[in-house]
Structure 1
Amino acid sequence: MGAVNSSEAESTDELHQDPEAAPCHPSSSPLSPQLSLTRGTQSYLGPLIRVSDPYNILSPSNSSPRVHLSSRLQSMSNAASPQWSPSSFRLTGDHICTEIHFIRHAESSMNAKPELIGGRSPSATLTSLGKRQARALGVHLRSAGTEFDVVYCSPLERAMQTAHAVCQELDIPRETVEVTEAVQELSQGQWEGRNRCEIYTSALVPIVNSTQPDFRAPGGESQRQVEYRMIEFLNNVVIPRASSTLQKARLQTESRKHLNKIQQASTLVHPVEDMDISQAKVWEESDLSSESNFKPLLRQKIPNSMSSSSLNGSPEELHSDVSSVPYTAAVISHGMAIKCLLRGLTGSDPQFTTHWCIDNSTVTVVRHSTRKGWEIQRVNDTSHLRLL
């Protein structure tokens, strides 16, 4: 124990600040740590993941031993759009599906120096290999027919370079890429650029491991803090935007379908006008003029090229098609940030981030459904690297 104390003292002298475990305060994030109700000490039960209730629609059970905190909802970025609320999209039978492709940036100059602590390293740029990786990813996504409704990106240069290379192959204008600090890398504070051997001593490593995910370097971030901001970004930005976009698409499609039916019906409402007197008399005396037989006749008369079913489908097909098509977003981020997100979504052990690998330029896909909650589709997909 004395050896540990002396080692900590040396670290303090060198860095002028001890590494610390970030204090956990209950916040309004759906993954906020929840206070234990046990008397005495205030221990944390860990993040509460409401996979089956992503928008906190269901009221908490009275028998639950945890304190449920409501999530904050942000208004949509478009000022003209109404403020989003959970009830806005709880329509009967509605199924909103969002697919998010997390892309780690391609190899950077800091990745080529594994002996150094990277963190955010804002000056790091893509290596020649990294540029080829990013282009190969774009080619692979294009050949697979992947289309993104929106592209988000970390403000760090290596992530921006990756995003621009991928978007160029997908014919996505680079000015449409939305930059957000919410998905940038975990900050290592004063340790960034330092040699790992100097920092992660035999005395410090056990302390780091035992205090995860709340350990943070001097002036840096903890894994829990990164996890929270990533989850808040999904809950407050991506999911509401997906819901709003898909709802508008569904309403527009239904409006077009309804308008087509009105236009087509208007040309056949008075077929007698195109008949001579004898034909009109037969029409009026026949059962075909009755209301019960008029609608089937309309469906037979309408050409296939103009029929509502060929244009937009039946109401059932329309609803099924629009609601089941996922809203697809790309997020160009960083290795540790993506690991922290996955750990939070799965409720995994704090050591999760040390056992999973997220390589440069790889794709990790998560999907959110209003029926099933969060699902992990793919992790560390390296398919595109075969093109190198």
Structure 2
Amino acid sequence: MDRDPTLLLEVFLISHGECDLNLRPDLVGGRCHGVALTANGKRQARALAVLFNSQGVSFTAVYCSPLDRARSMAMSVCQEMNFAEDQIQSSDALLEMSMGHWEGCLRSQTYTPEILSLIERNQPDFSAPSGESLRQVEFRMVEFLNGTLLGLPQQLRPQLLSNHIQGFSLQHTHSLTNSVRDRDGSSLPPPFPRHRHGLLKKKSDKSRLQFVSNTGGDHDADDEMSPREANRKSDIHGLNVVRSTSSLALPSSMSYCVGVFTHSMPIKCLVTGVLGCSPAMSHKICIEDSSVTVLQHSWKTGWQIKRLNDTAHLRLL
């Protein structure tokens, strides 16, 4: 794993927009395969993409839950951000919390007083029949964060360095061409600094150029320059350009921005994991539809929460 102290990783945790299940609060949710985004959920996705573009957000990599509502959210946002759809990676670690046999059942019939008492006594380790507990969700999300995402820079660094080198090569070639032109005289720069404002005149008995400064008197010894000296200065200028571009200057730090499209409960459990508190506290954390939570990591500071449940894009609707 790359422990570069200059490495900065930013993770955008994005909860999918409104889906059909949100319109049925009387049912136990969970994974419920086949649930799609509503028309409002699609508008939320477009608004989020507009906000990201206005903020200059650019994803290095994108991951999403394989459930349709999360993947549709990812595809809609990435399309507006010109991030290739085939580069979106699906991960089971980002699935919604499984409610097992209870999924799709009426809440009123499922959450009886006895069941509610049992849940309260056994949190965060209670799970529905064939379902998951809050602790299990937290574990897989933290494992995804510290395993998959922290290992991402090591995988992507060669590609980013290659892109940097290609961009540098084009710039180097352009600078080298200009320097050759300067030495040939076809594109000769001014023989005096542009920031010196003065009059240009020719002495009657000398074939020389003299600069007269507006702020000082005549300084013939300092300000006179022959055409040969001007050409020599141009040659030195061109040589310096070649020398300055002959060594490759790689970026001193690397920054990665990752988009993660998932569901509200996994984000809540991940936040409790980052904070180091019990996943049973997840019910006190609010994660709304299409909201954005941003985590930042460096080897100096560890994981930090930069934003939580940001819904600023909804003002665009």
- 2:288 equivalent to 1:359: yes
Specify the alignment match of 2:84 in structure 1: 173
Specify the alignment match of 1:53 in structure 2: none
| Mapped contact 1:246–1:327 kept (Cα < 8 A) | no
Give a deviation string over 1:29-72, Cα, whole Å, max 9, x none.
xxxxxxxxxxxxxxxxxxxxxxxxxxxxxxxxxxxxxxxxxxxx
**Unaligned segments of structure 1, at least 5 residues:** 1-85, 272-296
- Per the TM alignment, residue 300 of structure 1 is displaced from its structure 2 partner at its CA by 5.2
- SS of 1:110's partner is helix
Query: 1:221-236 to 2 correspondence within 5 Å?
Result: 221-236=132-147
**Unaligned segments of structure 2, at least 5 residues:** 184-233
| Structure label with greater radius of gyration | 2
Specify the alignment match of 2:192 in structure 1: none
- 2:300 equivalent to 1:371: yes
| Mapped contact 1:367–1:375 kept (Cα < 8 A) | yes
After superposing the two structures, state which structure 1 stretch, 374-383 or 169-178, moved more. 169-178
Specify the alignment match of 1:380 in structure 2: 309
- Per the TM alignment, residue 306 of structure 1 is displaced from its structure 2 partner at its CA by 8.6
| Mapped contact 2:8–2:255 kept (Cα < 8 A) | yes
Q: TM-score, normalised by structure 2?
A: 0.73
- SS of 1:159's partner is helix
- Per the TM alignment, residue 344 of structure 1 is displaced from its structure 2 partner at its CA by 1.0
CA distance, structure 1, for counterparts of residue 135 and residue 11 of structure 2 = 21
- SS of 2:306's partner is strand
Q: TM-score, normalised by structure 1?
A: 0.61
CA distance, structure 2, for counterparts of residue 298 and residue 111 of structure 1 = 71
- Per the TM alignment, residue 326 of structure 1 is displaced from its structure 2 partner at its CA by 2.0
- 2:15 equivalent to 1:98: no
CA 178–217 in structure 1, closer or farther in 2 if over 3 Å, else same? same
Letter in 2 for 1:104: S
Letter in 1 for 2:299: T
CA distance, structure 2, for counterparts of residue 99 and residue 248 of structure 1 = 18
CA distance, structure 2, for counterparts of residue 202 and residue 163 of structure 1 = 38
- Per the TM alignment, residue 371 of structure 1 is displaced from its structure 2 partner at its CA by 1.3
After superposing the two structures, state which structure 1 stretch, 182-191 or 298-307, moved more. 298-307
Query: 1:1-388 to 2 correspondence within 5 Å?
Result: 86=1, 89-90=2-3, 94-246=5-157, 249-250=160-161, 253=164, 301-302=238-239, 307-308=244-245, 318-320=250-252, 323=253, 325-388=254-317
CA distance, structure 2, for counterparts of residue 305 and residue 153 of structure 1 = 46
CA 206–250 in structure 1, closer or farther in 2 if over 3 Å, else same? same
Larger relative CO (CA 8 A, sep 6+): 1 or 2? 2
Letter in 2 for 1:174: E
Q: Runs (4+) of structure 1 moved beyond 3 Å?
A: 246-261, 297-309
Query: Number of residue pairs matched?
Result: 261
CA 155–252 in structure 1, closer or farther in 2 if over 3 Å, else same? closer
Q: What value does the CA root-mean-square deviation take over the aligned residues?
A: 3.1
CA 253–353 in structure 1, closer or farther in 2 if over 3 Å, else same? same
CA 160–348 in structure 1, closer or farther in 2 if over 3 Å, else same? same
CA 213–174 in structure 1, closer or farther in 2 if over 3 Å, else same? same
| Mapped contact 1:153–1:180 kept (Cα < 8 A) | yes
CA 130–248 in structure 1, closer or farther in 2 if over 3 Å, else same? closer
Give a deviation string over 1:327-378, Cα, whole Å, max 9, x none.
1110100010111111111111343211111111111111111111111111
Letter in 2 for 1:186: M
Identical pairs, percent: 40
- Per the TM alignment, residue 177 of structure 1 is displaced from its structure 2 partner at its CA by 1.0
CA distance, structure 2, for counterparts of residue 336 and residue 166 of structure 1 = 21
CA distance, structure 2, for counterparts of residue 250 and residue 307 of structure 1 = 20
Letter in 2 for 1:340: C
